Structure 1
Amino acid sequence: MSLAYAAVLISDPARPAVDVGVLALVSRALGLAQPKVLATGIAAEFAVTTADPDDMRAAIVEVVGEAQLDVALLPEDGRRKRLLIADMDSTMIEQECLDELAGALGLKERVSAITERAMRGEIAFEPALRERVALLEGLPAEETVAQVLAERITLTPGAKTLVATMRANGAYAALVSGGFTAFTGPISARLGFDEHRSNVLDVVEGRLTGRVHEPILGREAKLASLEDLISSKKLARSETLGVGDGANDLAMLEASGLGVAFHAKPAVAEAAHVRIDHGDLTALLYLQGYSNAEFVTV
């Protein structure tokens, strides 16, 4: 049975690639109607009726060739979501906070290597987190966190617009991180999230003890947070949008109505409903059918 889909083409706003030529090529090659332009040069969508969205997406990817584009096929029904549940590190911000804390001790390279393995799913998240936090023992907590936030942390392009636009259209936004409340608190406030959930670093007399409070918020806890929000907000699962980049996000992404792997590790990108490899976080708005004229900027 054929259903109605939107075939969405998205590029990095800093390197527009959804040009007239690409759109004409896709339209001619696949016999599609004229596209709806969501943002000139950046995003557009075609109305598609197909029984096999995976095959249609593959056909479009083949047509666009080497163009730096993200392509997604999404059911037209229920595209706009009422819940955004988002990872923080390397998703809503461009860094890994724990790695940056380790940089204050000259241990960033060592800790980053463990982080990378955990995010790829090569080692379990919880023991990897304990191992990394143990290396930070003795670090002055408040002043180091404040310095990292001020000097080392940058918001991912499109993050503020994503949260502001979804909230302005009635969505609830939750930042759910395997990181730490010392970071998710300030960052969720900067980005305009409704709430944040994360781990707590143990501090005694102003210094990190090298321990994290148990239980650790990891892969299963992120999934549990999604389920809790669906229940407490009385949402249908189809009304939820999850975004993340690492292996500890995968259960949450798979259980979301729309799970988006954002500049993600290979295994996560392969398993998620949609992968965004080129666009910034405004890509998640284009996936929902928003045009840039509808964006809310703060």
Structure 2
Amino acid sequence: MMAHSKLERLGFDPTIPNEARMCDYFIGGKDNFAADREAARRALELAPELPMMCHEGRRFLSRAVRYLAGAGIRQFIDIGCGLPTQGNVHEIAQEVASDSRVAYIDNDPVVVVHAQALLEDDKQTAVIEADARDPDQILGHPRLNNLIDLREPVAVLLLFTLVTIPEDELAAHIVRRFRDAVVPGSHLAIAHSVSDLRPETTAKLAALYQDDGVVSGPRRDQLRSKADIERLFEGLSLVEPGVAYLPEWRPDPGETYTGPGTIWAVGGIGRKDA
């Protein structure tokens, strides 16, 4: 982990917990701060299954990227990419097609500095500090446009990014803006924790994350529902099996699912046909 003095020069406040660093803590990583660990421990008291949720999120990312690369996509924009771990988007995509290119986007200076150091010599990736709340900043960024040709099909990944944006209209705007900016043949992938299966737990977690500053913006009492996430795919053709709980979305042979209610996050991929 970088020294606090360097992070402070980047405008970073280590006393505010971050969801990506909390997930890093859940899965045994070391790229987290005391505030992240304390918030994570309180979250685990409410939902001990959170480490399993993080692992399932990584499995979904792997399956989704392999599907997209297999469908011919060679350009990826990973928005809210989180901390670098094994099995990053470029590694998965390039196993299928070595010419795959990936732009990683995050608004956390810790993520950006780590990812830039990791990918410094990789000419098929770019790491950009930008905020999902401003799609036009991302789409117009020169580093993105030097790597990604928006005149060709692209996959936009919003994996657990919209969870940190409480405003429903803004979340819908973000999806629409990327949907409208990409050409037919492009895809959008979304993963999102939902309230349907564990409403009491997710309501308490929503309050905790807002109280601790993990999520900023207008206060909401509950996470979005599975139906809310399905509506975000308006104007796109859903890839089978549609929006599904993560372990049920195209599981690999031999993958086991511990049962309904254990994983309360959904994912899906939509294709732009016209």
**Is the TM-score greater than 0.5?**
no
TM-score (norm: length of structure 2): 0.36
TM-score (norm: length of structure 1): 0.33
Identify, as 1 or 2, the structure richer in strand.
1
Higher relative contact order (CA closer than 8 Å, sequence separation 6+):
1
Structure of larger gyration radius: 1
